[in-house]
Amino acid sequence: MGKITGFLEYDRNNNESYSPKLRIKNFNEFHTPLSVSERQEQGARCMNCGVPLCQSAIKLKGMVTGCPLHNLIPEWNDCIYTGNYTHALSRLLKTSSFPEFTGRVCPALCEKACICGLNGDPVTVRENELFIIETAFAEGDMTPRPPYVRTDKQIAVIGSGPSGLAVADKLNKRGHNVTVFEKSDRIGGLLMYGIPNMKLEKHIIDRRVELMKAEGVIFITSADIGNTIPAEEILDKFDAVALCCGAKQPRDLKVINREASGVYFAVDFLTSTTKSLLDNELKEGSYISAKDKNVIIVGGGDTGNDCVGTCIRHGCKSVTQIEMLPKAPDTRSSDNPWPEWPKICKTDYGQEEYIANYGSDPRIYETTVKELISEDGKLSAVKTVEVAFKDGKLSEVEGSEKLLKADMLLIAAGFIGCENYVTNAFGVELTARNVVSSPEGTYKTNVDKVFTAGDMHRGQSLVVWAIAEGRACAKEIDEYLMGYTNME
């Protein structure tokens, strides 16, 4: 602990953001880093707690607080303060496969458990992490490090999202021969097409993929295993298979006129924008456009917020974001004390931009869609109704129906598990939640040499959890192949 009184001397200082009016002019990331001296002060705020809950990932009242990767946060915070960035990097990479991803898109479970947050503001753990890895790339410390010795084991990773990349990275470093199959045209899975560019610019993914290629990982795109490529072919050729295909089956709306044109799943909407942005810089007609449209978004989570930010950048006329649950409190309630996950209202970048540019909050709470109105098969309006929860049951509020003009409706209501054609092809068993089954605490499926990790295994979740699962799955695969493992 280099600065014993740092947490008393320095206030939390976040990376600056471009103003909401300025940043909506493009799809670029919009945060600017602190100076090195300012970042060192933020590292000095870490208290080096005797029991650092930031790296604990403990479950309290059904929700996890603290880092699922068990990052050695106090150690590298101290290294930031003392300017020892090389050692900070070595401690960070010991537990974290892709800090450049989590440093941008993770909701920072670590910070929710930071003891500084008990009586003030937590340490800027996520931004400190991003500083370490981006400094390493800038100074040339992130060079290819292929293994000195290779085994004769061949491993197939199906899916190139965060869990698949983590499996591939760990097993390749162990010396196994890894091939990653991705059904899309670009590597990255959720990272590439599920997360908008303004949260994660895609050259950041490409940079990591190029590094992994230089270390020996083979990537094959446009390879739809279980569809265009039979599962049997993979099972015959490889010694182990890791299914990391995500939980991509979206939850639908069961309402009248659901088939009307102008209704899209959020993931398809976001994917079309990112793909067009990368392919042709948003050439007109090459993506699902919200320009000049009144947009209704069903879902108040991160994906719904991403849709708000994307619609604004398209030049929409209006956005209404519908949330079924009541608005969360702005500050912790008495029955939600630290270090529990804070159940508070979060105004994210998309809502912030809408408020600044359109003059109102796009969110309405305790409301659901009752019916879609169409004219000649095209969406024209959405009928909503207020809802109330009583004794755990949902009921409509009589007389609360409203008609909202709508040219487009985006369904961002979450996902209901993995795509079944892949699981059927491999013959793996599923749980009641429509994700791949394995004995508790393990990643091996009911099919010999087939393993699973990430959202396909745990259901819709966070990037950091996907990486943690990928790392743990890789260790289990190594032990299966070699009869032992010394992987961390």
253 within domain boundaries? no
Q: Please say whether the beta carbons of 107 and 349 come within 8 A.
A: no
411, 429, 452: which is the final residue of a domain?
A: 411
pLDDT in tens, the chain (488 residues): 668 899 999 999 999 999 999 999 999 999 999 999 999 999 999 998 888 999 999 999 989 999 999 999 999 999 999 999 999 999 999 999 999 999 999 999 999 999 999 889 999 999 999 999 999 999 999 999 999 999 999 999 999 999 999 999 999 999 999 999 999 999 999 999 999 999 999 999 999 999 999 999 999 999 999 999 999 999 999 999 999 999 999 999 999 999 999 999 999 999 999 999 999 999 999 999 999 999 999 999 999 999 999 999 999 999 999 999 999 999 999 999 999 999 999 999 999 999 999 999 999 999 999 999 999 999 999 999 999 988 888 899 999 999 999 999 999 999 999 999 999 999 999 999 999 999 999 999 999 999 999 999 999 999 999 999 999 999 999 999 999 999 98
Strands in 154-158's sheet, in edge-to-edge order, are 218-220, 177-181, 154-158, 240-243, 450-452
Q: Are residues 43 and 163 in the same domain?
A: no
Q: Are residues 201 and 311 in the same domain?
A: no
For residue 67, how far is the Cα from the chain centroid? 14
- Name the CA dihedral angle for 67, 70, 75, 78, rounded to a multiple of 10 degrees: -10
Q: Are residues 213 and 286 in the same domain?
A: no
Q: Are residues 401 and 437 in the same domain?
A: no
Is residue 310 exposed (0-12), middle (13-18) or buried (19+ Cβ within 10 Å)? buried
What residue numbers bound the domain in which 75 lies?
A: 6-138
CATH of residue 29's domain is 1.10.1060.10
Q: How many domains does the structure of the chain reveal?
A: 3
Supply the pTM of this predicted model. Answer: 0.96
Q: How many CB atoms lie under 10 A from the CB of residue 365?
A: 16
Q: E-strand spans in 125-235?
A: 154-158, 177-181, 218-220
Dihedral sign, CA of 430, 431, 433, 435? Answer: negative
Distance CA 218, CA 121 (A): 44
